[in-house]
Amino acid sequence: MSRILLGLVMLGCTVAVEDVQAFDDPITRLVNEKAGERCSGRVEVRHGHQWGTVCQHGWDLEDAAVVCRELDCGAVLDIPGGARFGRAGGEVLWRNVKCSGDEFALDLCERTLNYDVCTHSEDAGVECTGKLLAPTLLIQSRFYTYSAGEAVHFKCTAPYWQSVIDFHLYKRGVDTPLVTQRADPRQMTVDLTLSDLEISHQGSYSCLYRIHTKLGNSPSGFSPHSNFINITVLEIHTPQIWYNTSPEARPGWVTRGHSFNVTCSTQPQYPGGSFQLRLIRPNGTVRHSLPALAPSVTFTFSSAQSNNEGYYCCLYKVQTGERTFISRESQPLPISIREVDPVMSPVFISLLVSSLTFVVATCAILIVAKVYCKRASKPTELERESRTCVDNTYIALTIK
């Protein structure tokens, strides 16, 4: 105020002391004979150094809401006659007050001077809720991290009973409540459950309550937001599994003594995650574990032996605080350990090729020899014509 006065003086303005005091001091108050009732009473306004009342002619809920806001008294509960709060002194100063409900002080509203039209029996009164205190939000578990599909249970508590109608659970950044719970009469605490959690539910949450006011769903009937609680939601997917080994091995087989790899993969990844590989054998289960430093992790087995035979399954595990989240197991991957297949042995193939070559060469030689022998034993034309038949016996004659 001193800065404003200094500025006015520097501009050459004359400011009356009475006007300065009127600007500094409150011009609206609620007067009640009951001690401690600051937010309910007969409406009085100050004109200069004189306090007077306001006539209830034209007095409505919008006017009363401005008084409650100006005095930081919350929302309107009722507008009873001022006579209810005791006998008034002074004059009736204003009448026909007309507020839109958005003003932050009563003297900003339209009104007319009374001029002895109203009497104190027609004084206006207001009952406000009082300054609404923020509720308290608690989480009904020791954990703040959940997996998708779970439910988180909050508890919202109003600081005192005050005609609470309902409670609302809000996520920071979202204008509409995610959960609304109607309160029973005189109920101060309700449970607010957020079910079927999804990744989009991750964030900070607060609650507020709404009280019954004459203005219905007016924003002035809502309390401030409570403290905020942050929750984390994990979406754990079933990992995929596959294996790699020497190319000559049949599907599902690994050659004894050869190396093979089993790979586990999943998305998304979270801090503290790890992959576990489980080998199910007839005589027991073997587990291997590696930190999930990447979306895929490979388990390497340098020399396949009989104890590596069985069904392999992958799962993804996340450790956060006091909670452990484990995915479903992947589809089982059967792996059989087999000896070197003699059919596929390089030595056997070499011997087979050599044998076939020998057989083919031998057959070729025999065929050539047979053809040659046939040609050597065939008689000449002269010998065939010189033969005579004696008693069905051919005798070859020598021609000289």
Q: May I ask the CATH architecture of the domain 136-234? A: Sandwich (2.60)
- Percent of the chain at pLDDT above 90? 50
- The predicted structure's pLDDT at residue 335: 94
Residue spans in the chain of domains classed CATH 2.60.40.10? 136-234, 240-338
For 333-360, what is each residue's pLDDT tens digit?
Answer: 999 998 876 555 555 567 667 778 878 8
Write the Ramachandran bin of 277: left for phi over 0, alpha for psi from -120 to 50, otherwise beta: beta
Give the residue, 384 or 229, on which the prediction is more confident.
229
Per-residue pLDDT at 271 exceeds 60: yes
pLDDT band at 201 (very low <50, low <70, confident <90, very high): very high
Closest CA to 228 of 201, 202, 206: 206
What is the CB neighbour count within 10 angstroms for residue 337?
18
Per-residue pLDDT at 313 exceeds 80: yes
Q: DSSP readout, 29-65? A: EEE-SSTT-TTEEEEEEEETTEEEEEB-TT--HHHHH
- Percent of the chain at pLDDT above 70? 81
- The predicted structure's pLDDT at residue 81: 84
Rounded CA-CA distance 127/310 in Å is 79
Rounded CA-CA distance 241/168 in Å is 45
Fold entry, domain 28-128: Mac-2 Binding Protein (3.10.250)
Of the ranges 24-38, 64-78, 97-111, 211-225, which one carries the lowest mean pLDDT score? 211-225
Q: May I ask the CATH architecture of the domain 240-338? A: Sandwich (2.60)
- The predicted structure's pLDDT at residue 250: 79
Residue spans in the chain of domains classed CATH 3.10.250.10? 28-128
